[in-house]
Structure 1
């Protein structure tokens, strides 16, 4: 298993938004504890958005790509200088090796203990448990009992009110979108409201500092 250091505890997931909305969220994230953003590949113009956000904010915020399903998509994202890629499904050994070669953090999705173990053995840096809220925080605790502490990210139905339960149960990371932000504020680029939503979210987590 590849050793991973210094990956942000919470990643902001942005799915289906245009460049202006993504930029507004990332601007609001600057200087906060939210230090990574995932732009999903099933957003229109995702690669162009990623390139622009990396160019403007890449020195301050870790920018990654989500919903990566193929090697071709992974290569396009890595060419756009992402720091990490995520998927709702397991990733092939070829994709994981390509990420390792290019020093890009890989976060494939998994559900069962077998899928989690296999992904880590294949070289994944983090395994995304998705959809996490359908399983509940105790699932993380239950699978960690026999398998030990693993670099797990919970995604799907996670929000300000329940995220700490998952961290206490053994998750190391979380990916959250609508669980932090009001969708309308993202669409209208209401940065003042977005900043307030981040401030509230920050109070709900033990950041371990």
Structure 2
């Protein structure tokens, strides 16, 4: 998978059942170029769900794994068909080399300019700034002043309400988790309402 193919927005599916994840992907009909989805590996049956979702939607939607913490996690996610790997912290050189070798995008997390620089030098495709709400949107602009333009993803506390501010401060990508959808819509598998939430975010960041 090439970096240019990766959408600007990623839906983080943590703790969702297969049915809830399936409903979200069905709601993404027409939004495939706007959103990628990742299921976190600390979700029950995550690897099996990634495999099943890829079989059903993988030709249209970029599906990856989140909360990837070890080389074993990376290998298992790749075997399940994940197209990209997101982590909550820096990746080891071994993890980055594996992702590069297998042509899956590596998105480790960092919180300081030194960590960001180290991850890109070791082969990261995108660096996830986490938790983004703690460093605020301005961090993205400030850190790129000395380091140059970089593909940074804001994750952690990003919402429909503040997403535009991150993009205005030179974030290239954003990941949104539990605040993306109404809990009742997820509980009821309300695909039309889930699609409205996806549309609302796109309208907010125009």
TM-score, length basis structure 2 = 0.96
Give the superposition deviation at 1:34: 3.4
Superposed, 1:1-209 pairs within 5 Å as 4-32=3-31, 33-206=33-206
Give the superposition deviation at 1:187: 2.6
How far apart in 1 are the matches of 2:199 and 2:8?
16
Query: 4+ residue stretches of structure 1 with deviation over 4 A?
Result: none
How far apart in 1 are the matches of 2:187 and 2:97?
36
TM-score, length basis structure 1 = 0.94
Give the superposition deviation at 1:63: 0.2
RMSD: 1.1
Unaligned runs of 5+ in 1: none
Query: Greater shift after overlay, 143-152 or 179-188?
Result: 179-188
The alignment of Structure 1 onto Structure 2 pairs a total of residues equal to 204
Give the superposition deviation at 1:35: 2.9
Give the superposition deviation at 1:142: 1.1
Unaligned runs of 5+ in 2: none
How far apart in 2 are the matches of 1:127 and 1:11?
13
How far apart in 1 are the matches of 2:26 and 2:112?
37
- Whether the 8 Å contact between 1:30 and 1:60 is mirrored in structure 2 is no
Q: SS at the partner of 1:85? A: strand
Give the superposition deviation at 1:19: 0.3
Q: SS at the partner of 1:201? A: helix
Give the superposition deviation at 1:188: 2.2
